[in-house]
Structure 1
Amino acid sequence: MTEAAPVTGAEQFTEVHDRHFAEVYRYLAGRLGTQVAEDVAAETFLVAFDRRATFDPARGELRAWLFGIATNLVSRHRRKEARHYRALSRLEAPRPDEGHENRVVVAGQLGKALSRLSAGERDVLLLVALADFDYAQVAEALGISPGTVGSRLTRARKKLAPVLSPEASDE
């Protein structure tokens, strides 16, 4: 099965699951931690299976479609993601089962800075940082234009600059 082929049958979808599950799981583990990631990754593929007839290969890659579903589930899982980052920024040490993203957030003031980003800015930034997506892939995953990806990423970087490089904000 190729990325451009429609996914209609359960056998084809098993191949989609086998090919993409680990990558989707890694992205989700980075966003949500290992305990939650497995459940949300499974839910991602359940949603994708239920909606497989709506996947249109002419509109983009299967991988981007799956990451779009995963990102939407992250947003649903964290209705108040900004609150989560504020709480993480107050912790002294991360738990061992926390995702990489959470361990990094706890290390400094990044949690407060991430809480100041809009949900759209956070989604774009974290798809680039954790899933290693380029602008076109982020655009496909989130159903937005590449120009919107660029502007959201630029805004996010500007908001994070004082935290990531304090001397840059003094200039």
Structure 2
Amino acid sequence: MTGPPPARPGPEEDSRDDADVIAQSLEEPELFSGLYDRHAPDIHRYAARRLGEGPADDITAETFLIAFRTRHRYDTAHRLARPWLYGIAANLIGRHRRSEVRALKALARTGHDSVAASWSDRADDRIAVQAPLAGALAALSSGDRHVLLLVAWADLGYQEVAEALRIPVGTVRSRLNRARRKVREALSADPAFASAEEELTPSWTK
């Protein structure tokens, strides 16, 4: 791994970075909508892969509501707000831990589940790959699963995950290594292992 992905640029029509938008929204609240426009699609996509489309709508809305209400506490030294927003979303997703694990186990057991369509945004979604992967993810602790999926599905770098979850970078690395080892061990006997492991590879490492 070569490090965290580069910061994503904002919309062309707005050259202000996230920190500027948040700071200026304290005086002009309507400007906060720019932050929503930049990041809501990614937050929704991530939440949908974790919990399904229905909960993702609520998670996304509540993430930005909390962000708006607490924006006066945002540290503008962090110019990109993605870790902050994913941290809020992760906390909200954590409240659904039992539902997520239950859905993962159901998908692993039957190869079909109500949230299965949300597990991958690929057009050629393959349940044969998802089912063994679901079982491996269900067996992880909540903390390890958060770290693994923030790296793999949200494309956050180590430092960004540390900021999102408010844990040391060293803890991020140890949790990620442990999670990957456990997933690899769980999938090692499965013929779909190589494809399933690809689901857990962030784009910035390819």
Task: Give unmatched runs, 5+ long, in structure 2.
Answer: 1-15, 191-206
**Counterpart amino acid of 1:128?**
V
Aligned to 2:13: none
Aligned to 1:88: 107
Query: Residue 125 in 1 paired to residue 140 in 2?
Result: no
CA RMSD for the aligned pairs?
2.5
Percent of aligned pairs with the same residue?
46
Aligned residue pairs: how many? 167
Query: Residue 140 in 1 paired to residue 157 in 2?
Result: no
Structure 1 position 78, deviation (Å): 2.7
- Whole-angstrom distance in 1 between the partners of 2:105 and 2:131: 11
Aligned to 1:58: 77
- Whole-angstrom distance in 1 between the partners of 2:159 and 2:64: 22
Query: Residue 152 in 1 paired to residue 172 in 2?
Result: no
CA offset digits 1:44-72 (Å, max 9, x no partner): 11111111111112257311100100111
Query: Residue 115 in 1 paired to residue 138 in 2?
Result: yes
Structure showing the higher helix proportion among its residues: 1
Query: Residue 70 in 1 paired to residue 85 in 2?
Result: no
What TM-score does the superposition give when structure 2 sets the normalisation length? 0.71
Task: Give unmatched runs, 5+ long, in structure 1.
Answer: none
Structure 1 position 81, deviation (Å): 3.6
Bigger shift: 112-121 or 79-88? 79-88
Query: Residue 34 in 1 paired to residue 53 in 2?
Result: yes
C-alpha contact 1:138 1:149 (8 A) present in aligned 2: yes
Instruction: Say which SS state the counterpart of residue 117 (structure 2) adopts.
Output: coil
Instruction: Say which SS state the counterpart of residue 4 (structure 1) adopts.
Output: helix
Structure 1 position 85, deviation (Å): 2.1
- Whole-angstrom distance in 1 between the partners of 2:173 and 2:130: 27
CA offset digits 1:140-166 (Å, max 9, x no partner): 111111111100000001111123333
**Counterpart amino acid of 1:164?**
L
What TM-score does the superposition give when structure 1 sets the normalisation length? 0.84
- Whole-angstrom distance in 1 between the partners of 2:148 and 2:185: 16
Instruction: Say which SS state the counterpart of residue 109 (structure 1) adopts.
Output: helix
**Counterpart amino acid of 2:17?**
T
